[in-house]
Amino acid sequence: MWSRLKQMLMKEFIQVFRDKRTRFILIIPPIVQMLVFGYAATYEIRHVPMAVLDLDQSQESRDLISRFTSSPYFDVERQVTSSRQLDDLIEQGNATVAMEIHAGFAQKLRKGETAPVQVIVDATNSNTALIASAYITQIALGFARSYQQDWIGRVAPQITQVVPSVELEPRPWYNPNLSSRWFFVPGVIGSLTLVLVITLTAFAVVRERELGTLEQMMVTPIRPVEFILGKTLPFFLIGVFDVSLIAAVGSLWFQVPFRGSLGVLALGAVLFLLCMLGVGLLISTVSSNQQQAMVTAFFFIMPAVTFSGFGFPISTMPMWLQYLTYLSPLRYFLVVLRGTYLKGVGIDVLWPQMAAMGGFSILLLTVAILRFHKALD
Amino acid sequence: MQDAAIAVNGLTKRFPGVSAVDGLSFAVRAGEIFGLVGPDGAGKTTTLRILAGILAPDAGTANIAGTDVIRLPERAKHALSYMPQRFGLYEDLTVEENIRFYSDLFGVKRAEREARGTELLRAAGMLEFRKRLAANLSGGMKQKLGLVCALIHRPKVILLDEPTTGVDPVSRRDFWRILYELLAEGVAILTSTAYLDEAERCHRVALLHQGRMLFCDTPANLKTRMRKNVVSVASTNPRLIRMHLERAQGISSLVMSGDGVHIVVDDAATRIPQFTAQLTAEGVAFESIVQVPPTIEDLFVDAVESKGAARG
């Protein structure tokens, strides 16, 4: 048994490392994708193009505009002269936010009235629109508050000191700077490993079927379990290597802190890799060539990533979808990744995720092996 | 039947809508090379796959070297070797690595592998290509390497499925020489072939048609069953000969070959003078016209045609 398995493994590694393309796939794309995700995947908004129409031309209106100009979130690129121009800029996509200050803005404020300011937000990207609106509100409220204080100071200087107010002191735990990179980088480790291990495993088995070497091997005394181990163990080891590689880039390049225990992360990675090997094998049993394997893998990978909480929070999904997310092994691994990286929690907190991945790996591998036996006949 | 290296009895395999193999029985002795001959779809590959233990039949028994290959395929696999039309080589491994891989799967010891591998590679004329990637071998070389991999564990029974299809003549010769040497070692060989000239190299052949066996005998005996005669007209312009003789009386088939025309007739004694007279009268030159022994191909065409006629 051991000598046949050893031979399978040697053959597999020779094949992987002799092929320039495979060698390349194992190292370069994971790093590149990690860098791309690290830089590109972010919920933060900066330099949102903004157009302003100031029909009031007062001290107050210029003060309000200057608060936007000095904000890092908005670039006030155009000062226009008609509301028609505002509409055009939004429509052409040259401005995401447009603000119109009506004539009489300052007059109303001086009288102590509420002065409306119209703000148009291009909500094509609802996420950007939401965050931009929040910033706009913040800036407008900041302006209003300091104007109120000035106004009270002028009208009734004696009560300036005693205006009651509430001061919030938010403490964002685990990610004090609210950096979305810290949120994304651990997730990228999981999703990249998922794609890599599933496709490599599925392709490696399907290629044997396509070339006729699978049938050739079945007339030798090799046992299916030896074949399956020989086919999966190399990709397990490659998966471990890639997890380490991507994690190293995350820690060394993006400086994402790692606060938990490496052992817990390793355990989670092993269980997750076993699940992915099972999925890869399953795909190979239902595909007779590499194109089919590709399409089948795609149909698994897309929902598996979407439902994992990688990009969209699970808690905002409709309830029936939330139940579906329990089927994605990546969901559990992401909790382990973010838990060990950012929260620094241990197995006492993460054991349900470990148990789920353990259960899934047993289930997936069993079904894959049974199906594999059948597919050989 | 007990001492037969391959014993097949009542083998039947149905695929949806078609009987690929239909009640097939035959036996192959050790040291014998047995040919399965028939057109595509005759059931040759299905039979070989069942015997290789990778396809379960619907009925019948099959023994390989005394082991029931249907019930105990794992045990039978040690004694047999199966070579499909395209042997499953790893193109990204070298010649040596392919041999090593397959020999280790069969548990061949290292020293044995070296000795046997060298011997087989020499016989295949491939000793100097040991370090070459299988992908960079010619079609004939690939197939010979497949044979080397298939023989590395000294099987008692060898199953070959059209092993020399698309192989160059030199490699084909090497291939057959290796096979004949194996026969001397007491190996039983079952081969299917589309080349009827190759069938004549077998000790016995079975003609298969639609999953059934038409005849099974030595090539020489089979030819005596031929009720018709074969006439060969040698000419530098076979096309012209065909044009003139195509509609002559008594012809059941006419095939052009490189140096003449091959004609199956009802009776050579009456037809040779008739053809000679006709060609001379029409002013067509030819080198010779003689009766030749029928080939397996002639026999096969005749057998299938008369069967078709009987059914029709």
Q: Report how many domains make up chain B.
A: 2
Are B70 and B167 in a shared domain? Answer: yes
The answer on B187 and B97 residing in a single domain is yes
Asked if residue A260 belongs to a domain, the reply is: yes
A304 within 8 A of A329, measured Cβ to Cβ? yes
Q: Kindly report the CA angle at A339 between A333 and A342, in degrees rounded to 5?
A: 130
In a domain, B155, yes or no: yes
- β-pair partners for B33: B189
Q: How do residues B72-104 score in pLDDT, each as one tens digit?
A: 888 888 899 999 888 888 988 999 999 999 998
Between CA B265 and CA B267 the distance in angstroms is: 6
Choose from A2, A211, A218, A219 for mutation: most chain B CBs within 10 A. A219
B277 touching chain A per CB within 8 A: no
Residue B298 belongs to a domain? no
Matching residue, tokens 């495979």:
A22
Q: Which of A15, A215, A221 is the closest to B106 by Cβ?
A: A221
Residue B276 confidence class, pLDDT cut points 50, 70, 90? confident
A216 touches chain B (CB under 8 A): yes
CATH number, position B165: 3.40.50.300
Last residue of a domain, one of B207, B223, B239: B223
| Mutual angle of helices A59-69 and A126-155, in 10-degree steps | 140
Which structural domain, as residue segments, surrounds residue B37? Answer: 4-223
User: Which one of B87, B92, B102 has the shortest CB-CB distance to A18?
Assistant: B92
Average pLDDT (A241-259) is: 90
Tell whether A145 and A222 lie within a shared domain. Answer: no
pLDDT at B312: 34
Total Cβ atoms within 10 A of residue A242: 25
SS3 B310: helix
Domain extent for A107: 48-159
Q: Do B90 and B151 fall within a single domain?
A: yes
Residue A146 in domain: yes
CA A335/CA B251 separation, integer angstroms = 83
In A, minimum Cα distance to B96 occurs at A11
Q: Which residue has the tokens 């194109």?
A: A291
Domain boundary among A101, A125, A159: A159
User: For B77, which of A4, A213, A220 is closest by C-beta distance?
Assistant: A220
Task: Provide, as residue numbers in chain A, all residues whose Cβ is less than 8 Å from the Cβ of B106.
Answer: 220-221
Assess whether B41 and B81 both reside in one domain: yes
Does A169 map to a domain?
A: no
Whether B112 is in a domain gets the answer yes
Residues A60 and A197 in one domain: no
Mean pLDDT of chain B, nearest integer? 86
Instruction: With respect to residue B312, please indicate whether it lies within any of the assigned structural domains.
Output: no
| CB of A218 less than 8 A from some CB of B | yes
* CB A243 within 8 Å of CB A205: no
Give me the torsion for CA of B267, B273, B275, B276, rounded to 10°.
Answer: 150
Portion 16-35 of A in contact with B at CB < 8 A: 18-19
Region B232-247 average pLDDT: 84
Q: Report the SS3 class of residue B167.
A: coil
B307 domain residue, yes or no: no
> Is residue B24 a part of any domain in this protein?
yes
Alpha helix locations (H) across B152-257?
169-184, 196-199, 219-224, 238-245
My answer on whether A141 and A238 are in the same domain is: no
Q: Are residues B211 and B144 in the same domain?
A: yes
- On whether both B16 and B70 belong to a single domain, the answer is yes
User: Does residue A203 lie within any of the structural domains?
Assistant: yes
The answer to whether residues A31 and A93 belong to one domain is: no
**B170 in the same domain as B33:** yes
Q: Are residues A9 and A80 in the same domain?
A: no
Name the minimum distance, in Å, from the CA of A227 to any CA of chain B. Answer: 10
pLDDT at A371 over 50: yes
Count of C-beta atoms within a 10 Å radius of residue B303:
18
Which H helix or E strand runs over B122? Answer: helix B110-123
Nearest to A216 among B80, B88, B97 (CB): B88
* In-domain check, residue A168: no
Regarding whether B204 and B289 lie in a shared domain, the answer is no
Contact A217 B105 (CB under 8 A): yes
Residue A290 lies in a domain: yes
Q: Give residues with Cβ within 8 angstroms of A375, minimum separation 6.
A: A285
In a domain, B306, yes or no: no
Q: Which residues pair with B288 in a beta bridge?
A: B234
Statement: residue A200 has pLDDT above 60: yes
Chain B residue with CA closest to A220: the answer is: B77
A94 in a structural domain: yes
- Taking residues B135-152, report their average pLDDT: 91
Same-domain status, B68 and B184: yes
Q: Are B158 and B260 found together in one domain? A: no
State the pLDDT at residue B311. 44
Residue of chain A whose alpha carbon sits nearest to that of B146: A216
Q: Is A213 on the interface with B (CB under 8 A)?
A: yes
A222 confidence band (pLDDT: 50, 70, 90)? confident
Does the beta-carbon distance from A221 to B74 stay under 8 Å?
A: yes
Please check whether residues A204 and A246 belong to one and the same domain: yes
Q: Is residue B310 part of a domain?
A: no
Task: Tell whether A68 and A216 lie within a shared domain.
Answer: no
Domain co-membership, B174 together with B232: no
Beta strands A74-80 and A48-54, pairing class? parallel
Q: Is A373 on the interface with B (CB under 8 A)?
A: no
The amino acid present at A141, given as its one-letter code, is: L
Closest CB to B84: pick one of A7, A215, A222.
A215
The total of structural domains in chain A comes to: 2
User: With pLDDT > 70 as the criterion, what percentage of chain A qualifies?
Assistant: 98
* pLDDT (tens digit per residue) in B213-225: 888 888 888 777 7
**Contact criterion met (CB < 8 Å) for B101 and A7:** yes
Residues B116, B118, B120: CA angle, nearest 5 degrees: 65
- pTM for this structure? 0.78
Considering the domain architecture, whether residues A21 and A66 belong to the same structural domain is answered as no
Q: Is A291 on the interface with B (CB under 8 A)?
A: no
Shared domain for A200 and A152, answered yes or no, is: no
Same domain, residue pair B184 and B257: no
> Which one, of B29, B12, B30, lies nearest residue B21 by Cα?
B12
In a domain, A167, yes or no: no
Indicate if A124 and A210 belong to the same structural domain. Answer: no
| CB-CB neighbors (< 8 A) of A3 in chain B | 104, 107
Q: Say if residue A266's pLDDT is above 90.
A: yes
User: A101 and A211 in one domain?
Assistant: no
Instruction: Examine the domain organization and report whether A82 and A187 are in the same domain.
Output: no
Chain A positions touching B91 (Cβ under 8 A) are: 211
pLDDT over 70 (residue B306): no
Tokens of A90: 């939004």
What's the confidence (pLDDT) of residue B1? Answer: 43
